[in-house]
Amino acid sequence: MHRFKVANTSPVLISLAEEETTMELGSFQFFYVAAITFLTVFLLHSFLVTKKRPRRRLPPGRALALPFLGHLPFLKQPLHATLTRLAARHGPVFSLRLGSRPAVVVASAELARECFSSELDATLANRPRFPSLKEVSFDYRALTVASYGAHWRAARRVAVVHLLSARRVDLMSDAVVARELRALVRRLARVAAGGAARVELKRRLFDLSHSVLMEAIARSRNTYSDDGADMSREAREMKDIVDAIVPLVGVANLWDYLPVLRWLDWRGVRRRLADATSRRNAFIYKLIDGERQKRLNAAADAADKQQEEQEQSMIGVMLSLQKSEPELYTDTFIAALVANLLGAGTETTSTTTEWAMALLLNHPAALKKAQEEIDTHLSLSGEPSRLLDKKDLPHLPYLHCIISETLRLCPAAPLLLPHEAAADCKLHGYDVAAGTIVLVNAYAIHRDPAAWGPAPGEFRPERFEHGSAEGKFMIPFGMGRRKCPGESLAMRTMGLVLGTLIQYFDWTRVGDEEVDMAASSGTVMFKAVPLEALCTLRAGMDTLLQKL
């Protein structure tokens, strides 16, 4: 057995060790006392501040909210449907905690009117600055997300007065929309030349909306790989960009409410957003540079210049404004507005038309009734063999009923775009603090049985016939200061597109089952499953096609 010899320890070393241990204990005790003192002072201060602060009457809401997460884990997708169910439980206005952000949800026509009344409209005209939108919106300069103020007013004025005025909408309908519709009909007719053809309508409707906006924004014509292509090269590029950006931004994106997700970036959101945004910006700045070069190369006389100013593109209009106020109408200002028009205008119009066709496929009697209305009107007009145009739309009331019922059931922005309280205010007697996100649930308001009867979720265009829906509240384009300025163009385009598709073709479902009407969650309410349908050229349309 081994023996271990223990060396003698010096008394001096023992004394030093004991002194060091005593110092460590003293330091620990000091920090312990300091921490307790700080915590006590903090709690006492919080108690006194809370006691002095007047008690707020907050809207009702779920009692359980998790630390840091709030109510986010309890909100199932799609968000607009979940919030509709919560409204049935908690009432037409209720509170939520979205991560660290307080939110108030409004789900009745009465309260929506109050939100956009003269007393509250300006207070709730701000947009929340979601981190995911910073780069996508050119540092919050885009019209739809800009804070209420001087920049927003300037962008809104340009959009309303110069880009989306009644006169320009008329010009676009007569020239651009009509030409792109003729091209769409010719392509579909070629695809269906051998009989019923299966087509994905989502892509073709996106291509049409994109083509119309590209022509109006930059006088740019799309290019197709072949006559049967469902999308142009430019539309495909933009759709890839939009499809990459939309799921990563907006009110349903957890990344915006939980800072830890942004720090970790475990799904690569920041990288994917940066990549998609970079591709989109390159696309837009190429349009701006191209328009600027056209203007530099132009050598027209005074008469040509006057005509050019009347028919110039939207980018051309803004470049003209840039000459007089270069510090305001910068290239970034122009790019932000163009991005807004391309992103919001293309997706919302094409998506609503897709929903309308899906509803009609599930209700073939309504589709047949719309066809008969168009045929009858064109026969009575004395020009049965011509393409539908804008002057026909006022004489097609049932077509308008279909579009109105689609907007009621399937608003493109079911929660509108989120608002933010700029100051403390009261809503329906409840206190709403500054910085609170206010979500107006148009989806729930449009399906209120008190307004729309015992079956508000059913597709019944007849609800709008003969003015029977007069006075009923609908806000598919928003309301108040932040209402969508493109409503007139969207309604005109949807009427012409839907009417033309019905006029030229017979549409049926791919199988015996009804079209899946499931919706995705996000800022825009897309169909979860893109619409496919069987397309057949109607009898007697061959002769009419030769005139297109």
Binding residues for heme: 484
Instruction: Tell me the C-alpha distance between 452 and 434, whole Å.
Output: 34
Element (H, E) at 377: helix 364-380
- Which residue ranges are tagged as binding site? 484
Instruction: Give the rounded distance of the alpha carbon of 278 from its chain centre.
Output: 20
Cα–Cα distance for residue pair 93/85, rounded to 1 Å: 12
Give, in order, the Cα–Cα distances in Å from 453 to each of 3, 87, 109, 170, 283.
97, 18, 15, 37, 47
Exposed / middle / buried, residue 466 (Cβ in 10 Å: 0-12, 13-18, 19+) = exposed
Task: Identify whether the C-beta of residue 79 lies closer than 8 Å to the C-beta of residue 256.
Answer: no
CA 139, CA 420: separation in Å to the nearest integer? Answer: 17
Q: Which residues make Cβ contacts (< 8 Å) with residue 291, sequence separation at least 6?
A: 218, 219, 313, 315, 316, 319
Q: Is 26 helix (H, G, I), strand (E, B) or coil?
A: helix
Residue 166 has which token pair?
């009644």
CA distance 58 to 45: 23
Residues pairing with 508 in the sheet: 534
Give strand ranges (E) for 88-196. Answer: 93-98, 101-106
**225 Cβ contact partners less than 8 Å away, ≥ 6 residues apart:** 233
CA distance 155 to 516: 39
How far apart, in whole angstroms, are the C-alpha atoms of residue 46 and residue 132?
33
Using DSSP's 3-state secondary structure scheme, residue 93 falls into strand
Residue 86, exposed/middle/buried by CB under 10 A (0-12, 13-18, 19+)? buried
| Secondary structure, 3-state, 494-539 | HHHHHHHHHHHEEEECCCCCCCCCCECCCCCCCECCCCEEEEEECC
d(CA 450, CA 456): 9
Q: Determine the Cα–Cα distance for residues 489 and 217; give it in Å rounded to an integer.
A: 13
Residue carrying the six token digits 């602060």: 53
The residue type found at 106 is V
Q: Could you identify the residue written with the tokens 């009110």? A: 251
CA distance 213 to 224: 17
- State how far the Cα of 217 lies from the Cα of 334, in Å rounded to an integer: 11
How far apart, in whole angstroms, are the C-alpha atoms of residue 337 and residue 488?
A: 18
DSSP 197: E
